[in-house]
Amino acid sequence: MAMSTPSSQAGEPPAAKPTVVLVALWGVSHFAPMVEVGKRLLALSGGHSLAVDVLVVPSPTGKWEAEIFERIRREEASGLDIRFHHLPAVEPPTDYMHIAGIEEFVSRYVQLYVPHLKAIVVSGLACPVAAVVIDIFCTTLLDAPQELGVPAYVFLISSAAMAAVLLRSPSLDEEVPAQIEFVELEGGVDVPGLPPVPASNLPTGLDNRKIPTYKWFVYNGRRYMETDGIIINTIADLEPGVLAAITDGRCTRGIPTPPVYTIGPVVAIAPPAEDKHECVRWLDSQPPASVLFLCFGGGGGYFSVAQVHDIARGLERSGHRFLWVLRGQPEPGTKLPTDANLAQLLPDGFVERTKDRALVWPARAPQKEVLAHAAVGGFVTHCGWSSITESLWFGVPTLPWPHAAEQHFNAFMLVAEMGVAVGMKLDKERSNFVEAAELERVVKALMGDGEAARKVRERAMEMKAACRKAVEEGGSSVVSLQRLHDALIQGAVEPKK
């Protein structure tokens, strides 16, 4: 099988150290945390006890390709002993244009890589193999390590609550008659360890039992039970109730789950840049905790003109300071947002009227640097888990504005379970539209001096303290990572030929 590696590893003898094989998807929000897990495992022993190889699954559309290659280049330049292998391109499922959800597409697409994964593990990597680690919806790849007799783990870049939903889905599917949709269940959906979950807050695809994507949710949840461990990008103290429900088998009808490793937050925090970004320089002139930060993820963040106008009106009427990352619509034939033309998108006179208390930034912004700034007092987020963990790490309360995937479920968790957010009403039938009056209401509720604002701020600071404590010596995430490290070494085997 043809395989290219950007590293200069060709011709070197195989390392004797057990090798952890990370199968990384093309999306940056999946790729970056997976690589970070490898880096943390290496850091435990200075790279003396384990080797890490990353298999890069190519994007079927080319989306994120340039950014992934740039990240690989930076990792290689750092001198860290991680080897990257680019898997060959394969034809996606023939009906991919008609697949309803990304979860179904990923499950079926990566299944085509089972032969390639087997070939690399058998002949292209060092032996013995400590584990093959797959991503959240990639359990079709489990066929490869099972046939080779090597350990396999699943890594969830999302919450323990998401793990609970997936583990619960097979039994839930059996308990609820097939003709009944979850939205018809009185009192919400039962997920042990959580408050009753409104069906409208279930991950997209799991909320509609009539589409094929739903079956793939259940399929992946069932196959988690075949793994040697479940690695989750969370912190034990953030989700104690749901983690207890997972580990004692309440999500799986009393059947013991594989060991669970909570190693989060898997957030790479770089030191502040010497040359400050313009957004950060603007924040330097603002009072502490006075600015509302609006940012909707690296791959999204664009809206219709009608929605932009309602956001602008709501922010202006709120009277509070804000930093708004506003992106433009993608170019034809692409999916990534462009730099915004503010004159075309914003209402007439908006920038002039708000110039003394606001900055609208039309390009990508350094989200982590902004959230770390003392002037930021609130965060309007699309509720991707990476963004949530960053907000928790820096102790910034949120206004959740979910769009798709598991974001509605994450928003529910932030408000109902963690208490670090003020809930916002949005119209799912109108692409999650938020009216100006509603945005004005929640901005005042979060950024004002009322009881609701005080509670979410206090809770956010508690979460910040829990995050920091978890990654200190003896902290829960450090201990869990060490347990994982030891299990990988002890379980290492040579693959069957």
Helix axes 451-470, 436-447, angle to 10 degrees: 70
Q: How far apart are the first and last CA of the chain?
A: 16
Marked catalytic residue, from 135, 173, 237, 310: 135
Q: How far apart are CA 381 and CA 403, in angstroms?
A: 10
Helix axes 28-44, 476-491, angle to 10 degrees: 80
CB environment 173-210: b (16+ within 10 A), e (fewer): beebeeeeebeebeebbebbbbeebbbebbbbbbbbbe
DSSP secondary structure string, 206-253? TT-TTSHHHHHHHHHHHHGGGSSEEEESS-TTTSHHHHHHHHTTGGGT
Cβ neighbours, 10 Å, residue 256: 10
Q: Omega before 265 cis (within 30°)?
A: yes
DSSP letters for 264-308: ------PPPPSS--HHHHHHTTS-TT-EEEE---SS--B--HHHH
Active site residue 135: yes
Rounded Cα–Cα distance for residues 407 and 56 (Å)? 25
3-state DSSP of 304-355:
CHHHHHHHHHHHHHHCCEEEEECEECCCCCCCCCEECCHHHHCCCCHHHHHC
How is residue 44 written in tokens?
A: 């435990």
- Cβ contact 252:221 at 8 Å: no
- Residues forming beta bridges with residue 152, ordered by sequence position: 132
Count Cα atoms within 13 angstroms, Cβ side, for 182: 25
Q: Are the C-beta atoms of 255 and 340 separated by less than 8 Å?
A: no
Q: Which residues are catalytic?
A: 30, 135
